Amino acid sequence: MVSDRIYKLAKRLAKKSNHGRYRLGCVIFKHNEVLGLGYNMLRTDPRSPDPWKFIHAEFHATFGVDPSDLIGASAFVYMERVKSGTIGIGKPCQHCHKLLAQLGLKRIFYTANKELKVLDL
Q: Over the stretch 68-89, which tens digit does the pLDDT of each residue have? A: 999 999 999 999 999 999 999 9
Indicate whether 117 pLDDT > 70.
Answer: yes
Confidence grade of residue 53 (pLDDT, cut at 50, 70, 90): confident
Instruction: Over range 15-33, report the average pLDDT.
Output: 95
* pTM, entire model: 0.92
Confidence grade of residue 47 (pLDDT, cut at 50, 70, 90): low
Please, are residues 53 and 42 in contact by the beta-carbon 8 Å criterion?
yes
**How many other CB atoms are found less than 10 A from the CB of residue 92?**
22
